[in-house]
């Protein structure tokens, strides 16, 4: 992972073999990022995505081990008790250009992954708290 900060936003490059969530977590901790909106594109060769089952209050996970274009990543960084929270949804395509997507549990970069972080301009970050109705940690706004 290499990255640059322009005073407001972060531009990040992940290398082949790096994982999205652990790379972002390392960046967040090193640079003390509290809250930001995340965008990204690139390629991956391992993707684990989920679909939230609201009745069961748990994710159904699906793992894909093949070359994929990352068409779009969108999500955000916020704060929970245990540390940073990273919430990202992704759209991907295979060699047939067909797409699929879901809540990104994690992905392993293939070729490259380019991320843009739009910083939240406030000294105190935005937190998440457990919402009992949905079983998920929702943004405290």
The residue ranges that bind a copy of itself (CB under 8 A) are 2-4, 6-9, 11-13, 16, 35, 37, 39-43, 49, 51-54, 60, 62, 67, 69-72, 74-76, 87-91, 93-95, 97-103, 110-112, 114, 116, 118, 120-122, 126, 131, 133-134, 136, 138-139, 141
Phi, psi for 27 (deg, rounded to 5): -65, -45
Dihedral of CA 119/122/125/126: which sign? negative
CA distance 21 to 84: 11
The CB-of-54 to a copy of itself minimum distance in angstroms stands at: 6
Residue with smaller CB distance to a copy of itself, 19 or 120? 120
Residue with smaller CB distance to a copy of itself, 2 or 82? 2
The CB-of-137 to a copy of itself minimum distance in angstroms stands at: 10
Q: How many C-beta atoms surround the C-beta of residue 89 within 10 A?
A: 14
Say if residues 128 and 140 touch (Cβ distance below 8 Å).
yes
CA distance 43 to 8: 26
The CB-of-57 to a copy of itself minimum distance in angstroms stands at: 10
The CB-of-83 to a copy of itself minimum distance in angstroms stands at: 19
Please name the residues in contact with 30: beta carbons below 8 A apart, sequence gap of 6 or more. none
Residue with smaller CB distance to a copy of itself, 82 or 141? 141
In the three-class reduction of DSSP (H, G, I as helix; E, B as strand; rest coil), residue 84 is classed as: strand
The CB-of-21 to a copy of itself minimum distance in angstroms stands at: 16
């Amino acid at each position: 992972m290499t990255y640059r900060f322009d005073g407001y936003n972060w531009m990040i490059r992940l290398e082949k073999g790096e994982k999205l969530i652990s790379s972002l977590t390392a960046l967040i901790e090193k640079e003390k990022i509290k809250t930001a909106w995340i965008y990204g594109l690139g390629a991956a060769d391992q993707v684990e995505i989920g679909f939230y089952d609201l009745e069961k209050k748990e994710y159904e996970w699906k793992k894909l081990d093949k070359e994929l274009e990352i068409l779009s990543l969108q999500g955000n960084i916020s704060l929970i008790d245990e540390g940073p929270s990273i919430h990202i949804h992704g759209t991907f395509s295979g060699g047939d250009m067909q797409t699929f997507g879901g809540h990104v549990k994690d992905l392993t970069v293939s070729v490259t992954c380019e991320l843009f972080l739009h910083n939240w301009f406030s000294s105190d970050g935005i937190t998440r708290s457990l919402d009992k109705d949905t079983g998920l940690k929702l943004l405290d706004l």
